[in-house]
Structure 1
Amino acid sequence: MERDEDIMMRGTKQEMPGFRFRLLRPEKKRELWNPDFELLFLLRGSGRVSYEDGEVHNLPMGSIFAINRFQICDLDLDEDGLALSLCVSAETIASFHIKLLKCEVKCQSFFYMEDQQEKFDLIRRDMARIFLEMYKNNEEQPIYMKSRVTALLEDLLSYFTSGEKVEQGRGGRERIQRASDYILQHCREEITLEDLADHLYLSRAYISRSFPQYFGVSFREYVTQVRLAHAVQEMHSGATLTEIAYHNGFVNETAMIRAFRKYRGMTPSEYRKQMKYTAEQSEKKGKEREEAAGDHDIFRNLLQYAAVTEQEVETTNESAVSVTAAVNGRKPRVAGHWKRVINAGYAASVLNREVQDELEQLVQELGYELIRVKGILDDDMCVLRRNMWGEIQFCWNYIDEVIDFILSTGAKPLLEFGHMPLLLAKTDPGRTMRPALSSSPRDLAEWRMLIKNLMEHLRERYGINQMRRWIFNPWISGDVITIDGGDEFFETWKASYEEMKRVSPDLVTCLSFGLGPEEHLKAFIETMKEKECVPEIFAFRSFGTVIYGEEEEKMNLIQNNESVNMIVSRDPDFLRNRGEKVKGLLQKAGLGALPVLVDECSSNIWQRDLCNDTCYKAAWLFKNLLENEEALQGIAYFSVNDRLDEVFPARETYHGGFGLFTMNGIPKEVCTALRLLGRMGSRLVKRGDGYFISTEPEKNQSQIYLYNYVHYDMLYRYRHAVNISRTDRYRVFNMGEIRTFSVKLTGLEPGKYCLRLYKVTKEHGSSYDAWVRMGAPERMNRMERAMLCHSADPEYRVWEQETDPEGSLTVQERLEPHETALIEVEQIL
């Protein structure tokens, strides 16, 4: 069940206390009153609002209204209703507009017709822009947030204030809040003024005076309204009126009916009829609402008032990065572990000729040592069947084709065996689009027989000496630890491990952990030791995600069949920090000597992350490979092609898949960036925030890599896609800045140098942006695909530059957010 969550105002260098956004849902009851000023906007559906004087008003979608401090107000949302609440504390209001504390705000859009909403649209705009600033995490400019809040308070003061209220003292507010808390806890019991006075150590007379002073109603009326608010919530259930009355502290059904008439202006039966009518109207208009909402994002109705275009959110802030690097002298070797492993995806995909061509290109260009394939025992590889007598028969044809291809490229295979073939599976916990089961085997002996026969076949076909150069992952990733439990996972893994070692003790095995939290990883490592099946290599996966609820910000996910209960971490250095945790846990377990590699990584586990097709992914790749290339023994980007078939195949070419190439073979920006990394020198000169400098001393060449990475904004990390579309995908990031790099290379041989710039931008090196400029055709012919393949070439400039007499040369380059660049510096002989 989705929950009512606070959206804390974060992202500024100095916290701004007193601001709080909340999502209000039907199943979570809002407080009857609030010591803060509150502004509510109905994001979705419909509902009703009732006040202490008994007035009840219907709320259509898009309604915005203010609730003054201490004002009794009950919000009743229909089943599909969803509201966004902005609370502002008295202290914060006083710091902006002390006058507003003494005024009653009368902002209630539901009183007015559609052609009378101009003033309310100003408040909608102000609220939308505050929300926009909040989730953009603008760390450098907290003044923007203050200016947005000031604008809201000024507009409320100018257009919606009427009369004056006496400001109550702080001590009185605290005491009356304790009184309210007591009533909320005991509202289903008999509550007397004497009970409350004894509990608070206050006089009856003081309490009697305080309730009308703060709430505008007597003590007894307040208790009745609290009980009624809870009773209204239960009107959505099938309980009888008598049951609801007794459950919520009314002496009988008649007393509850009287309260309904007084404070809701109708009987409970009439109220239920109105609810039913509203629900029918909502259902009737449901299709129309869905079409208007587009991708069903809950914040679209609010943010349309922000009137912010992509041009407006483009940064105007600039910063300068100055680097001095000496290229002469002894330099450490570049580890280059990022190009040890390339992911081919599922084994069945490698049977596709286009995928083979792409793998072949990258192995030849970049020199990959290993091609990783997963699922070689999946049912789409047709490895076994039972004949009419129930006997198991094996077929290795497709596996042979995959391994033969890998060897033909000059690379070696990294083979992940799982999943479990259906004929051997103990359970069927549900499949993705692929024929893949995460079940343990029904009969471990049959599984052993499968592995034994496969390994004997590989030995006969390829020879032990060849196989000793490969890497074997004897089953699947340890994600299954959360499905079957650790014991069954490790029993299956150990059985495979033992059958492999029987063929040759020298075979290299790899055990992989998936996406679980740190405590699961710790238990995973401990079990690995306990079961005595420690591999030669430990691998983990990094998709930049954490389990929902692990981080302080809590914005509910958009649930759909492509989502899991994970969000993108706020940490832009997730891969590095995850790697350090893994190595630290292995060290504590006495396994610090194990090589650690990342067998799958990407920026997001979402297979329809439209940012995967943009320049953002090139900057993400530069950042994560360059900053981690030495710390890990392999970083395998996932994956070479968008063909995964874990969800329905997309109709469009640029649908946000994981691949370096689209399904029809067009290289994406991330592929262009990868090829630029392949030009790296063998020695490391210097690295830092946004840059990496290498050199090739024997050729008098240096390479300057630059990148301007900007992380997802908070709203998109929680999968709210209100600011992204098929042709507009750059408005879901934090507020970045333009970075101007000034790199001074010293220690060069004096003379003239040729400089070559390769740069990936929206205008150059981005096949996606070229597709948008082409008109974003849903289907493309061969000529259009060929043009887009050519558009993946980066911007290219060449010029000559002479060093100063001391052998120094300065290069400058300006990068917009998400841009990447390589500048090659080569002496002209």
Structure 2
Amino acid sequence: MIRVPAGPGDRLPGAWRSCVGTGRLDLALRRDYQDSLALLQRDIGFGYLRGHGLLSDGLGIHRPYAWQGVHRTHHSFTYLDQVIDACLGLGIRPFLELGFMPDRLASGEQTVFWWRGNVTPPADEKEWTALVRAVLAHLVDRYGADEVRTWPVEVWNEPDLPDFWQDADEAAYHRLYEATAHAVKEVDAALQVGGPALSPGADGWLERFAEFAERRDVPVDFVSRHAYTSGPARHVPFGVHQTLAPASALLDQFAEPRRTLAGTRLAGLPVHITEFNSSYRPDNPVHDTAFHAAYLAPVVAAGGDHADSFSYWTFSDVFEETGIPTALFHGGFGLLTHRQVRKPTYHLYAFMARTGEERLARGEDHLVTRHPDGRVTVLAWAPVDETGRTPGPDRHTVRLSVPVGTAPRGEAFVRRSSVDEERGNAYTAWRRMGSPRSPRPGQLDVLHEAAEPARTHHRLPVEDGRAVLTLTLARHEITLVELTPLLDETPPWWDERRLLGGEAP
């Protein structure tokens, strides 16, 4: 049995919900997207939202035209304002990623994704920096300098990959970053600009980025990187399968920027993991499973020790990088499917949102926290076999001695919420109903019902200010247990044996 210290504990870092990812930003104009974001904010409450396509043609900001024989540029903020207003109205701020290149400003025709985001450098650097200044100046004017100074501004996305930056030209990226960072600071010196938003395994780029920033005296206020643990994609129609490294590899990746930048001018800057997940593919069925929630639980519980934020990629399956999804469950990145069906990993985050700010203990299968009112929460998870060679253990036991309240004796009210292969798992229900590609209204009702976590309630005795909590977890289970010191206000005359009018025995 593990004895949880009574405290005081340390503060549980809030990095796990500091930011979350999204599909391209113009998807935020859709009702399904906004409904999903509203549910997410109600149950979890993320701080920032990061997505691609801020400057792509989908938002229509860059609008060149000719008048009286002169080339001019008009900047239109019609859609941008609607997107930002919708986000702020739901209590989430933008984490601004500057990209991709507007088609009529691009130097080439190379694009990425089904929606064709242009990934070539600007044909005219002055027009690019004018676009950056115009966007940020508009945001400052509309939302106020104090507000926009809290919005990080990230320059591009994964420039180390040729799919995302033409030829993965490092020197060209450094030129883009330098020009862009100075343009940001020209609008307001207190705006926070950073990058380079590298893919996993590109830490040599990060070293050279630090050298470049120091040599050129370029503004860098934060460093960003991405983290994934999947191997090469093995394609099937409308999907992929991939091997996975242990989840601890994600924590290693979260920690890498600080190790790499130690001793450089960028040491000590905030580190933002602006994308992370198991697979980097939006069509890998592992994202929809209970396995995935249990796999990521130790990462979500411990990631704040290594980074200032780590952004789950993404909050919703309203996402179209490889095209329009072919089924409700299709392996999308989202915590939510279309039509707001909650996946097991959604519940992992919703459970985390109910933990306390004071961290009392953390182990390989549990996280114990306390609220200011004395409530204690235990988030526990079953171990997984990421190799796929075994299904993972059918049962896993966690036994804890937990401090509860201040009274030496009494009872605790125990509330438990659980998700596993059977419970709180709409994916399992969907498979059993025949994997309908477009579920009918009645089937959607069943899936929403199946997505509800299992809930139980009971009491535990408290001796010497402690309760002994024994949890038996099913395969791939995540569970949240909340223990509240019990104040019993049952009147002395209450006797349930008399419910049907009889006399007390």
User: 2:340 pairs with 658, 665, 669, which one?
Assistant: 665
Asked whether the equivalents of residues 703 and 822 of structure 1 are also in contact (C-alpha less than 8 Å), the reply is: yes
Cα deviation code 1:449-473 (max 9, x no counterpart): 2112222222332222221122211
User: 1:433 pairs with 114, 128, 135, which one?
Assistant: 114
From the superposition, tell whether residues 574 and 525 of structure 1 become closer, same or farther in structure 2 (CA, over 3 Å): farther
Alignment gaps of 5+ in structure 1? 1-321, 549-556, 714-731
Residue 377 of structure 2 is matched in structure 1 by 703
Secondary structure of 2:460's counterpart equals strand
Residue 691 of structure 1 is matched in structure 2 by 366
From the superposition, tell whether residues 378 and 518 of structure 1 become closer, same or farther in structure 2 (CA, over 3 Å): same
Asked whether the equivalents of residues 420 and 475 of structure 2 are also in contact (C-alpha less than 8 Å), the reply is: no
From the superposition, tell whether residues 695 and 432 of structure 1 become closer, same or farther in structure 2 (CA, over 3 Å): same
From the superposition, tell whether residues 581 and 433 of structure 1 become closer, same or farther in structure 2 (CA, over 3 Å): same
Cα deviation code 1:383-411 (max 9, x no counterpart): 22332554332211111111111221233
Residue 23 of structure 2 is matched in structure 1 by 345
Would you say 1:533 and 2:201 are equivalent positions? no
Asked whether the equivalents of residues 23 and 52 of structure 2 are also in contact (C-alpha less than 8 Å), the reply is: yes
Residue 287 of structure 1 is matched in structure 2 by none
Cα deviation code 1:613-653 (max 9, x no counterpart): 11012113322110212322111111111122111222211
Residue 760 of structure 1 is matched in structure 2 by 419
The 2-side partners of 1:444 and 1:711 are apart by 50
Residue 191 of structure 2 is matched in structure 1 by 507
Asked whether the equivalents of residues 401 and 467 of structure 2 are also in contact (C-alpha less than 8 Å), the reply is: yes
Letter in 1 for 2:210: I
The 1-side partners of 2:440 and 2:96 are apart by 36
Asked whether the equivalents of residues 379 and 435 of structure 1 are also in contact (C-alpha less than 8 Å), the reply is: no
Deviation of 1:527 after TM superposition, in Å, equals: 3.0
Residue 448 of structure 2 is matched in structure 1 by 789
Residue 386 of structure 1 is matched in structure 2 by 64
Cα deviation code 1:192-216 (max 9, x no counterpart): xxxxxxxxxxxxxxxxxxxxxxxxx
Secondary structure of 2:484's counterpart equals strand
The 2-side partners of 1:417 and 1:673 are apart by 30
Letter in 1 for 2:125: L
Cα deviation code 1:123-148 (max 9, x no counterpart): xxxxxxxxxxxxxxxxxxxxxxxxxx
The 1-side partners of 2:360 and 2:118 are apart by 47
Residue 47 of structure 1 is matched in structure 2 by none
From the superposition, tell whether residues 419 and 508 of structure 1 become closer, same or farther in structure 2 (CA, over 3 Å): same
Structure with greater helix percent: 1
Cα deviation code 1:571-619 (max 9, x no counterpart): 3311111122211111132422101121111111122111111101211
The 2-side partners of 1:437 and 1:562 are apart by 24
Letter in 2 for 1:602: N
Deviation of 1:492 after TM superposition, in Å, equals: 1.2
Would you say 1:655 and 2:339 are equivalent positions? no
Residue 317 of structure 2 is matched in structure 1 by 642
The 1-side partners of 2:214 and 2:325 are apart by 43
Secondary structure of 1:742's counterpart equals strand
Asked whether the equivalents of residues 417 and 480 of structure 2 are also in contact (C-alpha less than 8 Å), the reply is: yes
The 2-side partners of 1:762 and 1:559 are apart by 25
User: 1:543 pairs with 220, 228, 247, which one?
Assistant: 228
The 2-side partners of 1:519 and 1:567 are apart by 26
Cα deviation code 1:541-582 (max 9, x no counterpart): 112146x6xxxxxxxx63689899x96553331111112221
Would you say 1:422 and 2:121 are equivalent positions? no
Would you say 1:400 and 2:81 are equivalent positions? yes
From the superposition, tell whether residues 431 and 475 of structure 1 become closer, same or farther in structure 2 (CA, over 3 Å): closer
Letter in 2 for 1:736: G
From the superposition, tell whether residues 537 and 334 of structure 1 become closer, same or farther in structure 2 (CA, over 3 Å): same
User: 2:143 pairs with 453, 458, 462, which one?
Assistant: 462
Deviation of 1:534 after TM superposition, in Å, equals: 4.0
Asked whether the equivalents of residues 101 and 122 of structure 2 are also in contact (C-alpha less than 8 Å), the reply is: yes
The 2-side partners of 1:779 and 1:398 are apart by 30
Would you say 1:576 and 2:232 are equivalent positions? no
Secondary structure of 1:629's counterpart equals helix
Secondary structure of 2:262's counterpart equals helix
1:21-32 equivalences in 2 (<5 Å): none
The 1-side partners of 2:398 and 2:19 are apart by 31
Deviation of 1:733 after TM superposition, in Å, equals: 5.5
Residue 487 of structure 1 is matched in structure 2 by 171
Asked whether the equivalents of residues 383 and 396 of structure 1 are also in contact (C-alpha less than 8 Å), the reply is: yes
User: 2:205 pairs with 514, 520, 533, which one?
Assistant: 520
1:242-641 equivalences in 2 (<5 Å): 322-326=1-5, 328-388=6-66, 389=69, 390-479=71-160, 480=164, 483-511=167-195, 512-545=197-230, 558=234, 568=243, 570-641=245-316
Residue 10 of structure 1 is matched in structure 2 by none
Deviation of 1:755 after TM superposition, in Å, equals: 0.7
Pairwise CA RMSD of aligned residues?
2.3
1:735-774 equivalences in 2 (<5 Å): 735-737=391-393, 738-746=395-403, 748=405, 749=407, 750-774=409-433
Report % sequence identity.
23
Asked whether the equivalents of residues 461 and 467 of structure 2 are also in contact (C-alpha less than 8 Å), the reply is: yes
Deviation of 1:739 after TM superposition, in Å, equals: 1.6
Cα deviation code 1:422-478 (max 9, x no counterpart): 111112234320130111111211211211222222233222222112221133333
From the superposition, tell whether residues 455 and 803 of structure 1 become closer, same or farther in structure 2 (CA, over 3 Å): closer
Asked whether the equivalents of residues 704 and 822 of structure 1 are also in contact (C-alpha less than 8 Å), the reply is: yes
The 2-side partners of 1:568 and 1:752 are apart by 46
Secondary structure of 2:107's counterpart equals coil
From the superposition, tell whether residues 448 and 812 of structure 1 become closer, same or farther in structure 2 (CA, over 3 Å): same
Of structures 1 and 2, the one scoring higher in RCO (CA 8 A, sep 6+) is: 2
Secondary structure of 1:814's counterpart equals strand
From the superposition, tell whether residues 430 and 343 of structure 1 become closer, same or farther in structure 2 (CA, over 3 Å): closer
Secondary structure of 2:471's counterpart equals strand
From the superposition, tell whether residues 709 and 421 of structure 1 become closer, same or farther in structure 2 (CA, over 3 Å): farther
Secondary structure of 1:699's counterpart equals coil
The 2-side partners of 1:683 and 1:700 are apart by 10
The 2-side partners of 1:420 and 1:456 are apart by 19
The 2-side partners of 1:476 and 1:532 are apart by 22
From the superposition, tell whether residues 533 and 357 of structure 1 become closer, same or farther in structure 2 (CA, over 3 Å): farther
From the superposition, tell whether residues 487 and 670 of structure 1 become closer, same or farther in structure 2 (CA, over 3 Å): same
Alignment gaps of 5+ in structure 2? 488-505
From the superposition, tell whether residues 735 and 521 of structure 1 become closer, same or farther in structure 2 (CA, over 3 Å): farther
Structure-1-length-normalised TM-score: 0.55
Cα deviation code 1:267-309 (max 9, x no counterpart): xxxxxxxxxxxxxxxxxxxxxxxxxxxxxxxxxxxxxxxxxxx
Residue 825 of structure 1 is matched in structure 2 by 483
The 2-side partners of 1:531 and 1:378 are apart by 29
Deviation of 1:734 after TM superposition, in Å, equals: 4.4
Structure-2-length-normalised TM-score: 0.88
Asked whether the equivalents of residues 336 and 630 of structure 1 are also in contact (C-alpha less than 8 Å), the reply is: no
From the superposition, tell whether residues 324 and 794 of structure 1 become closer, same or farther in structure 2 (CA, over 3 Å): same
The 1-side partners of 2:342 and 2:203 are apart by 35
The 1-side partners of 2:285 and 2:247 are apart by 18
From the superposition, tell whether residues 606 and 344 of structure 1 become closer, same or farther in structure 2 (CA, over 3 Å): closer
1:21-60 equivalences in 2 (<5 Å): none
Is the deviation greater in 748-757 or in 734-743? 734-743
Deviation of 1:700 after TM superposition, in Å, equals: 2.2
Secondary structure of 2:339's counterpart equals coil
Would you say 1:679 and 2:351 are equivalent positions? no
From the superposition, tell whether residues 735 and 776 of structure 1 become closer, same or farther in structure 2 (CA, over 3 Å): closer
Residue 490 of structure 2 is matched in structure 1 by none
Asked whether the equivalents of residues 765 and 794 of structure 1 are also in contact (C-alpha less than 8 Å), the reply is: yes
Letter in 1 for 2:51: V
The 2-side partners of 1:670 and 1:569 are apart by 17
